[in-house]
């Protein structure tokens, strides 16, 4: 795919400056996500199995904007950075499912005056989604598991500390230690899918 500067395609200012470029950028990624070869991996499927076992006691918070967790079978998912297969009204914030391309001419008609649609993606400088629900879940969690994260990006990197404050047991499953790896009580490093499956087998 064509390379672009983050400032041009992942900021509100970039969208205001060149909406056609931004829409084309996300259109290409939306099309790619829906290619038949893009499928949930073993880790996605393992987390779906964990939800089956735990029911409504399980919450999956992801920084990914794809729908692979849902396609694997997870239903209790918060996409804190938004979703690629959705758009929202730039005026009212109303969110719409959207699998095709978006052009600057596409409008949302939920408002008195039709407003442009924008990708339902959190850009740099914007607040992540679902934070109240996430912090509520962290305050009540018995176990907090972080899988495959770098620990560089806040507020997500701070979730382990928040969970610890409320007494949760914390586990990191990763290819290598994250930037906040020392916060975790239990740590496993190796292939994500293998460790997810091992965790499930021990439940």
Give the active site residues. Answer: 81
Q: For residue 91, what is the DSSP state?
A: T
H or E, element range at 115: strand 115-121
The torsion angles phi and psi of 11, rounded to 5 degrees, stand at: -140, 150
| N- to C-terminal Cα separation, the chain | 41
Strand 107-108 and strand 115-121: pairing? antiparallel
CA angle centred on 138, ends 156 and 200, rounded to 5°: 90
Other Cβ atoms closer than 10 A to 107: 16
């Amino acid at each position: 795919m064509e390379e672009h500067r983050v400032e041009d395609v992942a900021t509100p200012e970039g969208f205001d400056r060149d909406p056609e470029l931004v829409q084309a950028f996300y259109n290409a990624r939306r099309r790619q996500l829906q290619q038949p070869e893009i499928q949930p991996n073993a880790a996605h499927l393992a987390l779906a199995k964990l939800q089956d076992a735990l029911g409504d006691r399980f919450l999956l918070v992801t920084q990914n904007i794809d729908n692979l967790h849902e396609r694997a079978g997870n239903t209790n998912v918060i996409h804190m950075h938004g979703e690629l297969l959705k758009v929202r009204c730039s005026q009212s914030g109303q969110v719409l499912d959207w699998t095709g391309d978006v052009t600057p001419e596409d409008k949302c008609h939920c408002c008195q005056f039709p407003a442009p649609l924008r990708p339902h993606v959190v850009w740099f400088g914007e607040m992540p989604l679902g934070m109240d629900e996430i912090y509520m879940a962290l305050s009540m969690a018995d176990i907090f598991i972080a899988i495959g994260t770098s620990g560089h990006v806040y507020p997500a990197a701070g979730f382990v500390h928040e969970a610890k404050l409320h007494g949760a047991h914390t586990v990191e499953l990763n290819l290598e230690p994250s930037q906040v790896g020392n916060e975790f009580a239990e740590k496993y490093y190796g292939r994500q899918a293998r460790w997810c499956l091992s965790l499930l087998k021990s439940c």
